[in-house]
Amino acid sequence: MQQTINGLAVGSIYALLGLGVTLIWGVLHVLTFTHAQVLTWGAFATLAALNADWPVPVAILVGMLAAGAISAAIDAGVLEALRRRGASEHAFVVATIGVAAMMQALLKKRTGSRFEPYPRDGFPKGPVELFGQNIPKLQILVLAVSLVAMVLLAAWLRYTSFGRGLRAVAYSRETAELLGVNARLASATAYFVSGALAALAGVFVSVNTAQVSYSSGDRLLLVAFAVIVLGGMGSVAGAVVGGLALGVIETYATVHVSSKFSEACAYLVILVVLLVRPSGLFGAKEAVRV
């Protein structure tokens, strides 16, 4: 039970990462490489607010808003110009790699390549007994908040007019515009929400490890891609299930095999899934959908 809860807590963070990437892919058909740096910048923004003695919920909100704004600015300042020129998907990939490199270089210079301690004051401490097991309160908080964020996102996409407009853009940008949907606003919103989710994941990772650095998001970018490949490109449900599954697999592999091989075991499972179902668990063979 304890390891399952730990795995689900880690997996919920992975799911938040996967949701952000799949949201952008589903709406804009862009595989963005800036996600890791947006996550890291959001974590540092939250750290600045925490060091200023702001309440934890407010500090996290500041980080999410900052990361969302940065992500939307990347869309407005770089990707929108490429869209106007009818650039290929490869151009978007190269552009986001370049932006990510610049963001990392700026943060590296600003922090002097140091690992900054991440305060845990204000976050739950100690364990709580659940079904005869001592479960860290922080893990329960991470799992609960992440699941709430996922449910809210799914409900927003499914039941609100703006969410339905976003899904219409994902289906066909031209058709959505003919129906009166503001595709430009939909793109900006997708990027903002993606950045906010990334920041939330970054804060949880930083609190768990009690530190953050300019390179904290590097491994997590690979994790995000693994999640959406496992769950299915463009599938919200796939990102959630893929993230949770990957977290549980890694946790059990760490406990029962070795921490050195936990990631290898997880990606071995992904390889097996892709050999059986190349489109992923929830992926479609043709067009990508949100």
Average pLDDT over residues 104-125: 89
Strands 127-130 and 133-136 turn out to be antiparallel
Reported as a single tens digit per residue, the pLDDT across 223-265 is: 888 888 888 777 788 888 888 888 888 888 887 777 677 777 7
Which pTM value belongs to this model?
Answer: 0.88
pLDDT confidence band for 287 (50 / 70 / 90): very low
- Please report, for residues 23, 64, 82, 89, 94, the alpha-carbon distance to residue 30 in angstroms, rounded to integers and kept in the order given: 10, 21, 11, 7, 11
Q: From 167, 141, 144, select the one nearest 154 (Cα to Cα).
A: 167
Identify the pLDDT of residue 286.
Answer: 47
| Burial track 102-118 (b if 16+ CB lie within 10 A, e otherwise) | ebbeebeeeeeeeebeb
Output the average pLDDT for the chain.
85
Decide if 6 contacts 127 (C-beta within 8 A): no
Contact by Cβ (8 Å): 240, 231:
yes
What is the structure's pLDDT at 288?
Answer: 44
- Sketch out the chain's domains with CATH numbers: 2-106+135-276 (1.10.3470)
Which amino acid, residue 53?
Answer: D
Between 66 and 232, residue with greater pLDDT: 66
Q: Mapping DSSP to helix (H, G, I), strand (E, B) and coil, where does residue 285 land?
A: coil
Q: How far apart are CA 167 and CA 176, in angstroms?
A: 9
* pLDDT tens digits, one per residue of 97-110: 999 999 999 999 98
